[in-house]
A = this chain, B = another copy of it.
Amino acid sequence: MNERSFLNIRAFNRKHMSIISKSQIKRSALVKATINLVNNNGFHAAPMSKIAKTAGISPGTIHLYFENKQDMINQVYIEVKAAYTRFAFKDYKASFSVAEGFENIWKNIAEFKLKEVEEAMFLSQCDNTPMVDEASRQEGLKHLRPLLDLWERGQKEGIIKPVSPYLLYAFSIYPIAFMMNTQQQQHLKLTPEQINEAYNMAWNSIKN
């Protein structure tokens, strides 16, 4: 075991103890503070001292939860990405038709990106900069499988355009991030009608 083994024990406890420990509270306060400060000032202007202060924690304490700043960013990224994909596939059933399944997933993602703005903005920043390392980026990508499988099925059924999944993602899912950005910068809130219009645009771009 390496010098981080005690952290793993803590992680073990977090997973298998049903009580919410104090350390869990502090950790999630740190995660929240990190997301908040990185969103508002960028990674380069989110010093550990400020993150600690925002979380109501001493600077030194951060290093009980994370090895260093880079490790913290990586872990936060992976956690938020996991929450994002979990949300994306909630209520999803493999028995859905391709069209049903896609609408379900798309609207979940839209709901996440337009409502959990803090998390979504953080992800957008991480995905467009060298902030997080390649390994964490790969890790974050894992949980998207069900969507890729759905598209593959759709292509076999002749419902979905026979193009690279990257293109499908680029034209149907990725635009939601832009919608979130403008909604945030323009201080407006998209109406359900607008979201439905957006969904139709997404579907029109990938349907055969």
Contact = CB atoms under 8 A, between A and B. Distances in A.
A189 B130 CA distance: 21
B161 A170 contact: no
A171 B129 contact: no
Contacts of A206: 201
Interface in A110-139: 124-125, 127-131
A204 B161 CA distance: 12
A56 interface: no
B170 A198 contact: yes
B178 A170 contact: yes
Contacts of A166: 178-179, 182, 186
A201 B172 CA distance: 10
Nearest to A198: B167
Contacts of A127: 128
A192 to B, nearest CB: 14
Nearest to A126: B128
Contacts of A45: 130
B163 A171 contact: no
A18 interface: no
SS class, residues of chain A in contact with chain B:
helix
Nearest to A186: B166
Contacts of A170: 175-176, 178-179, 182, 198
A165 to B, nearest CB: 10
A59 to B, nearest CB: 18
A13 to B, nearest CB: 33
Given A175-B171, A178-B174, A128 B130 contact: no
Given A175-B170, A201-B167, A128 B131 contact: no
A30 interface: no
Interface of A: 39-45, 124-125, 127-131, 161, 163-164, 166-167, 169-171, 174-179, 181-182, 186, 194, 197-198, 201-202, 204-206
6 closest residue pairs by CB, A with B: A44-B44, A205-B205, A170-B175, A128-B128, A170-B178, A201-B205
